[in-house]
Amino acid sequence: MKLTKIASLIALYIGVMAIFAGGQVVLLNKAMSYHVIPWLPVYNLVFGLLTVFITTILLWRNSHFSLAAVLTSITSHSAVMIILQTSYRELVAPDSIRAMAIRLATWFIILILVAVQARKDKKSSD
């Protein structure tokens, strides 16, 4: 199995988890036991949907846009983490920080898989 297919399955999982997390608050109006920063569940839901319906497909097809999609995910999640750690440090729930850290770690693993597959593809075409 190509590494990009494995990366796609990992992205699908993390995307579905983001949809679930964001959807509970945004779509189901579920009250959480901790303070929720209003834009964060919306971000989770939207980015989860983008991951499931765009990035996952690009990765599965080993598209030349895969790397750009993965880098966009890492950049976006990194920016949100920085915002949470600086502007919302006193308000953000530890669960939100933990979830964002897990997303970042997962996207770095996906990045490694995509990079290794690209290297393999380049060697086989030489």
- pLDDT surpasses 90 at 30: no
Which class for 76: exposed (0-12), middle (13-18), buried (19 or more C-beta within 10 A)?
Answer: middle
Tell me if 105 is assigned to some domain: yes
Whether residue 29 is predicted with pLDDT greater than 90 in this model: the reply is: no
Q: Which domain holds residue 85?
A: 3-121
When pLDDT is averaged across residues 56-84 and rounded to a whole number, the result is: 97
CA distance 121 to 123: 5
Average pLDDT, the chain: 94
CB 80 within 8 A of CB 103: no
The model's pLDDT over 44-55, given as tens digits with 9 standing for 90+, comes to 999 999 999 999
Identify whether 126 is part of a domain: no
Q: How many whole angstroms separate alpha carbon 8 and alpha carbon 12?
A: 6
Q: Is 29 helix (H, G, I), strand (E, B) or coil?
A: coil
What is the pLDDT, as a whole number, of residue 12?
Answer: 98
Tell whether 24 is covered by a domain: yes
Count structural domains, the chain.
Answer: 1
Q: What is the mean pLDDT of residues 47-73?
A: 97
